Amino acid sequence: MSQPTQAAPPAQQEKHAHHTSCGCSEHGGCGDVPKLARLRYFHGQPLSAHDLRREQAYHRDHARLHNRLLHGWGLVCGLEVEVAPRRDPLECEGDPTSAEVIVHPGAALDCRGDEIVVRHPRPVYVDSLLTEADLKRLTGRPGTVYLTLCFHEVPIDPSRPMLVGRCVPAPACEHARVLETYRVCATLERPDTGPDCEPCCGACSDTCLELAAIRDFDPTKPLTQEQIDLGGRRQLALRELTEIVGINWVHGATYTREDANALLDDGLELWFSRGVDVATLRPGVLDLTGIESGSGRSAGSYNIEGEFVDLPPEPYVDRVRYRRRTDETLQYGDRVLIIVRGDFILDECCRALDADHLGGAVPQACDSKYTPVGEQPVRRCPPRPSGDGVEGGEFVSWIYVEEREKR
């Protein structure tokens, strides 16, 4: 998974379409599972090309079923996308388009279970993959172009049949093999990235996998690596657990008394990797506790009453704000303990938020007007979202209020 940056959480808002199904019950059981019947050989059995094709289909359907149900679907490895170095126009004739990117080797499984392998670096001219209407629309009005990877079959090795069937005329040519390969496509509409909460249920809505989102694409201007966004790619998984990818405070940092109080009054914000059910954001899933310290009264603790604000009416939200609703104020030297109970916050797949704040590494995800003071906490490891790959857990964080004598 890509590491979140300060700009990543807002972009996560379009990462996943919201699905309301939590299991197979709405579909009447498992769907899209082929009927598996294999040949039973016996002496003297007549075999036709149709029988041999069905034999191949049996093994292919088994492999697809295995891939889809045991491994899920998404990008397995590699397939990074980067902007190709610009060529000198004097070195060759024609217009060396600036919209060339390189898709590096790698592998993927699509939602039908087909295996897609890119064996060599693949140059891609984005302009040539778009329609004239799309290019006209993007010229002067840059937009997002989605680069996708699709399983593709190509008939090869043509040959003349030596015998013909009884009921069909003799074809002039037949292809002896089918090459399993891929296509790289470009579209202005984002392909469906799931998540299929249970991969055996429902129809496969889009067999193409997102490789990259090219932001602010203008056919008349050169591409830069900063325009290539890999944050929306679906990694291989039966399902992705929802994580906390950003917060609007610095974990473990010290704030002035004024800023700490203003931060609680404005609201603590959290970004999720995909939408969580608004109905599960109930009192008790997020707690603020003030711990008295400093030069005065110490060792006492008290609950800081708060509430979620500006929740949208739709079922899912990928960003929340929790604001203090009392007139209590933090005092010099206090500590504020922030606990989010992920076991009780569910996403669109009815999976609990993977909330464990390992190493305190969830980054501050936006520019804040409240700046910590004094020495900042040491971060020897790179930022990362919450979670340990298991549903539920508690997100625990804290901030300090500066002591009076240090001002």
Report CA-CA distances (Å) from 294 to 301, 332, 335.
13, 6, 9
Residue 94 has pLDDT above 80, yes or no: no
Poorest-pLDDT segment among 148-152, 189-193, 288-292, 337-341: 189-193
Report CA-CA distances (Å) from 131 to 151, 187, 229.
21, 9, 22
pLDDT band at 295, cuts 50/70/90? low
Nearest-CA neighbor of 84 among 97, 106, 100?
A: 100
pLDDT at 30: 54
- What average pLDDT does this structure show over 349-359? 93
Segment 173-196, tens digit of pLDDT: 888 888 999 999 999 999 887 766
Residue 299 has pLDDT above 90, yes or no: no
Q: How far apart are CA 97 and CA 135, in angstroms?
A: 14
pLDDT at 165: 65
* CB neighbour burial string for 341-363, b if at least 16 within 10 angstroms, e if fewer: bbebbbbbbebbbbbbbeeebbb
Q: How far apart are CA 16 and CA 351, in angstroms?
A: 15
Nearest-CA neighbor of 151 among 56, 68, 38?
A: 68
Nearest-CA neighbor of 79 among 57, 103, 111, 45?
A: 103
Percentage of the chain surpassing pLDDT 70? 82
- Strands across the sheet with 306-309, in order? 244-247, 268-277, 316-324, 306-309
Burial class (CB in 10 A: 0-12, 13-18, 19+), 405: exposed
pLDDT band at 65, cuts 50/70/90? confident
Query: Domain coordinates of the chain in residue numbers?
Result: 22-229, 244-406
Which DSSP helix (H) or strand (E) runs through 105?
none
Mean pLDDT taken over the chain: 84
Q: Between these two residues, 143 and 90, which has the higher pLDDT value?
A: 143
**Side-chain half-sphere exposure of 400, counting CA atoms within 13 A:** 16
Task: Give the β-pairing of 254-255 and 394-401.
Answer: parallel
Q: How far apart are CA 26 and CA 220, in angstroms?
A: 48
Segment 13-38, tens digit of pLDDT: 454 444 444 455 444 445 567 788 88
pLDDT at 114: 93
pLDDT at 108: 95
The structure tokens listed for 326 are 């009392």
- What average pLDDT does this structure show over 243-251? 95
Of the segments 97-111, 155-169, 259-273, which one has the largest average pLDDT value? 259-273
pLDDT at 88: 57
| Residue 157 backbone phi and psi in degrees, to 5 | 55, 70
Maximum Cα interatomic distance, the chain, rounded to a whole number of Å: 100
